Chain A
Amino acid sequence: MSDPILSVQHISIDYGFDEDATHAVTDVSFTLGRGEFLGLAGESGCGKSTLAYGIANILRNPANIVSGEILYYGKNTPPTNILALSGAALRAFRWNELAIVFQSAMNALNPVLSLRAQFRDIFTTHRPHMSRKDIDQRAVELLQMVGIAPDRLHSFPHELSGGMRQRAGIALALALNPDIIIMDEPTTALDVVAQREILSEMIRLRQNLQFSVIFITHDLSLLLELADNVAIMYAGRIVEYGDRRNLYTHARHPYSYGLLHSFPPLRGPAKKVFGIAGSPPDLRALPQGCAFHPRCPMAFAACQSALPILKTADPAFPAQQTACHLYDTALRATPPTEEDIAAAYAANSQRRGMRV
């Protein structure tokens, strides 16, 4: 692993308390390298957004972090536990070191303030010595960086199109040169063309400014084009983590495989694809054992009782980690190939296709 910037260790996040608690995120650990683009993929309710907000320490009641720690490695400072920060230290940490871009830019931007006023807000809070002239100059610079014309500085959020608003949100996030940017479904509300433009912009900016990104989305196909590493979440846990190419060529967890093959191909031969049977689980009533087993076409006895842990599935690819009993040699002699998983999905779909 290259020089780490953020290390998330055994984080668990609940909604509510004690016996009423819903476990939105359970025992998640990963490390984000300096300048790394990490993709966090999963469906609605898998805990990906909760995890992101937990990392930024912006969760509010009734969500609370019940265990774990998040270490931030500053450039010349000892590691800080973000969760131990509060008050002024926490405010300084956000924006300066870590910024968030939200799904709905309309909610993140203040509707009654012009972009200029919003830039001033940030700079007067965090850079009190900056003059107004300097602030305006810096704001124009930032807007140009994300592809917004300087004359838009005086615009209000409602005067901008969806794509422009999201760009403005990115410009605000970049204002103080943070080391980490968390993007929570930043393009979900946008059309494909606007989405592509923003993503190309992000790639370019990252090359120039060298920040790390945690990119959260339900669209795995996007991540495979953009991210260095991808973590796939299901029911509050990471079920597979790996390099995007390894994941694309050989997704080992049946859920990752199913998710990856839930997109009809844009090119190449037309083929039948299946998706995954059933619905994402209800976090209040998670199944025993592996949470995915009721939908898994390859589930066997162990999956219903024991919880698989995240570990290297194939020694040839030590960085690709999978939480699946299929790769536990004590439970199953030979690990399944990708063809085995494909065949299981096809057979499962065939079975469901039979009408009663």
Chain B
Amino acid sequence: MSPAKDLPKKIPFIQVGKTVLTIWKFITSNIKVTIGSGIVGFFLLVAIFGPMFIHNNPALYTRQINLSPSWQHLLGTTTGGQDILEQLIVGTSTSIFWGLGTTIAIESLGAVIGIVGAYFGGWWDELLTVLSNVFLVIPGLVLAIVLAAFLPRGSLTVSAAIFVTSWAYVARSLRAQTLSLRSRDFIVAARSMGERTWRILFFEILPNELPLVSAGIVNNFSNVIVAMATLEFLGLGSLNTISWGTMLYWAQVNAALIVGQWWWFVPPGLCIALFGAGLTLINFGIDEIADPRLRQFKSRKRKQLKKVTTI
């Protein structure tokens, strides 16, 4: 019998440690990834744990209106007397979680449509390609504004409007990738072995596209955050939710820009910019790791060659 059974079972603690080490190595291997992960990690921590430290309702009106930053209110207050730091923390949480959810939904639908169309080819592919092309030519933001204006207000509407206008890009890139994988030997081998089609799609093809999908998630995440903030800034979001976009909306409505209440509109704007920059840095870093040609080679001088002495 196999000697594997006699071996002691792997200690889970060590396995977890190894995984952490691998991730740590990845993060520290490239300066762009390190900085990007730092920024994104900070925002994720705030999004997850920040709301736990806020005991007041940040939407509640108080009398302490239009205060500039002070020790009581680190980022000042709004025209309604709400603490901006508290709003920002809650808003970070909302924006990031809605953004992430929307991104994952976009990637999933795009992946399924791209992979299925390309793998089956023929009639299915024609239909799905036409459908995604239609969505590709419609200007995304305009359609999203129209959709968000007609649907009932709320975060779900904003998310849905962005979802509808974004999946086609993902579908197109994964379709191209699947087309090239489909004729590769290992897919042909799986088919000729008698593998079931859905397993070929999701266990043979999809794992090979995961790098593309994860790069897509990083990339789309920042696009989605910006798009959501845009729609909310235009007043198409839910007025009862606090997010980066709605904070900007209320700042605009209450003429914070004209009055010069910079502490109201700068923090959410800066958060959007920083978070987007962090994600972009990670994306650049991944590109460099995946393609060593983008890395600058530290070419060192060739060691001194021996002189011609004898013939």
Contact = CB atoms under 8 A, between A and B. Distances in A.
Interface of A: 17, 61-62, 64-69, 71, 79, 81, 83-84
B63 interface: no
Contacts of B302: 64-66
A17 B297 CA distance: 12
Contact of B308 (A65, A67, A79): A79
Given A71-B311, A79-B311, A61 B299 contact: yes
B4 to A, nearest CB: 15
Contact of B306 (A62, A64, A67, A79): A67
A62 B305 contact: no
A69 B303 contact: no
Contact of A67 (B297, B303, B311): B303
A69 B311 contact: no
A62 B299 CA distance: 8
14 contacts: A17-B300, A61-B297, A61-B299, A64-B302, A65-B302, A65-B305, A66-B303, A67-B303, A68-B305, A68-B306, A69-B305, A69-B308, A79-B308, A83-B305
A340 to B, nearest CB: 36
Smallest CB-CB A-B distances: 8 pairs: A64-B302, A81-B308, A61-B299, A61-B297, A83-B305, A79-B311, A66-B303, A69-B306
Given A67-B305, A67-B306, A81-B308, 6 more contacts: A67-B303, A68-B305, A68-B306, A71-B308, A79-B311, A84-B308
B-side interface size class: under 10
A83 B304 CA distance: 11
A278 B203 CA distance: 32
Most chain A CB neighbours (cut-off 10 Å) among B297, B299, B302, B306? B306
Interface of B: 297, 299-300, 302-303, 305-306, 308, 311
A17 B298 CA distance: 10
A64 B299 CA distance: 10
Contacts of B299: 61
A92 B289 CA distance: 37
Contacts of A84: 305, 308
Contacts of A71: 308, 311
A68 B302 CA distance: 12
Contacts of A81: 305, 308
A81 B300 CA distance: 21
A67 B305 CA distance: 6
A142 to B, nearest CB: 34
B303 to A, nearest CB: 6
A90 to B, nearest CB: 14
B10 to A, nearest CB: 25
Contacts of B303: 66-67
A83 B311 CA distance: 15
Contacts of B300: 17
Nearest to B303: A66
B297 A62 contact: yes
B116 to A, nearest CB: 34
Nearest to B298: A17
A40 B114 CA distance: 49
A162 to B, nearest CB: 21
A45 B34 CA distance: 35
Contacts of A62: 297
B292 to A, nearest CB: 9
Contacts of B297: 61-62
Nearest to A79: B311
A28 B308 CA distance: 17
B307 to A, nearest CB: 8
A8 to B, nearest CB: 13
Nearest to A59: B302
